Structure formats: structure tokens, C-alpha cells
């Protein structure tokens, strides 16, 4: 096993009451975006919301997480599966990487099947940039269904 990696998770404020069940399950099982830690011990050093559009807590949360040793900050899957998807993902990613010198990963748990079907129906993810944003959380259908 590789050395410990310290991470933080920022969730979309629409899900502020989320207890993190899907994210923590995916972290434990190394599914979705957490599959990058297959051979790595992970320590979660922070979990909070963005504080709503346009992300008033992004700066403070990242500062606290990096003080606690975060090397990677995950923008939770809720940022991409919400209706509409977060329009600030690129801004948050650039800001966090430049200001705090951390790697930013878009996504946590696999995309639930019901969200995939609705976004395909709505055409939310048709622009080319979505292919990259969805890549880490797009699992096989069986896994997606298990996250419904």
C-alpha cells in the first residue's frame, strides 16, 4: 500500500443535509472518483458544503482542509448530477488549484443511474467538456444502479 493521502470533500449546498452515505461508501469501496486510491490509504480531513451559489464557502473550506493536510479536494458528484449541474465547477477547480496548490478531482461516488437517465433526457451533458467532468464517476450500469 502506498503512503496515506489526505483528502477533503466539498458538496453542493443543495445537498447540505446529506450525511455523506454515498460518498463514504464509495470511498470505502474505492468506487467512482475514489478508484484512484485503489492502493492508497486515505484520510478524510474535511467534509462541508460550498455554502450555495456562487460558492461562498469554497475559499474558507479549502483553507481549513489544507491546514489539516489535504492534498486533494474532491468536488462531490452532486455538483455534476444536480439540476442544473453546477455552473461554477471550472471556476472552483481553477481557484482551488491555484490558490491552495491542491489537486482537485471532480466527483466522489458513481453517478446514480436515475441521474444519468434524466440528464441524458434533458441533454445536460451534451457539451464536449462534460465527457472529462463525468469520466471519474461514470461506472458500469450495475454499479450506477446500486447508487440509486
Query: Which domains are assigned to the chain?
Result: 2-146 (3.40.50)
Query: Can you give the pTM of this predicted structure?
Result: 0.95
Residue 3, pLDDT score: 77
Vertex 104: Cα angle to 103 and 109 (nearest 5): 130
Q: At what angle do helices 58-67 and 89-100 cross, to 10 degrees?
A: 40
* Contact between 44 and 27 (Cβ < 8 Å): yes
Burial environment of residue 5 by CB neighbours within 10 A (0 to 12, 13 to 18, 19 or more): middle
For residue range 12-35, what is the model confidence (pLDDT) as tens digits? 999 999 999 999 999 999 999 999
State how far the Cα of 55 lies from the Cα of 59, in Å rounded to an integer: 8
Could you tell me the pLDDT band of residue 98, with boundaries at 50, 70 and 90? very high
- Biggest CA–CA distance in the chain, Å, is 42
> Of 3, 48, 49, 5, which Cα lies nearest the Cα of 27?
5
Amino acid at each position: 500500500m502506498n503512503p496515506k493521502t489526505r483528502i477533503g470533500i466539498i458538496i453542493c449546498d443543495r445537498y447540505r443535509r446529506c450525511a455523506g452515505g454515498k460518498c463514504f461508501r464509495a470511498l470505502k469501496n474505492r468506487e467512482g472518483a475514489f478508484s484512484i486510491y485503489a492502493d492508497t490509504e486515505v484520510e478524510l480531513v474535511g467534509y462541508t458544503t460550498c455554502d450555495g451559489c456562487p460558492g461562498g464557502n469554497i475559499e474558507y473550506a479549502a483553507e481549513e482542509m489544507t491546514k489539516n493536510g489535504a492534498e486533494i479536494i474532491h468536488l462531490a458528484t452532486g455538483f455534476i448530477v444536480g439540476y442544473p449541474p453546477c455552473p461554477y465547477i471550472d471556476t472552483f477547480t481553477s481557484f482551488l488549484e491555484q490558490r491552495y496548490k491542491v489537486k482537485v478531482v471532480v466527483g466522489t461516488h458513481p453517478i446514480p443511474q436515475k441521474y444519468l437517465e434524466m440528464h441524458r433526457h434533458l441533454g445536460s451533458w451534451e457539451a464536449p467538456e462534460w465527457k472529462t467532468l463525468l469520466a471519474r464517476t461514470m461506472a458500469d450500469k450495475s454499479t450506477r444502479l446500486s447508487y440509486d
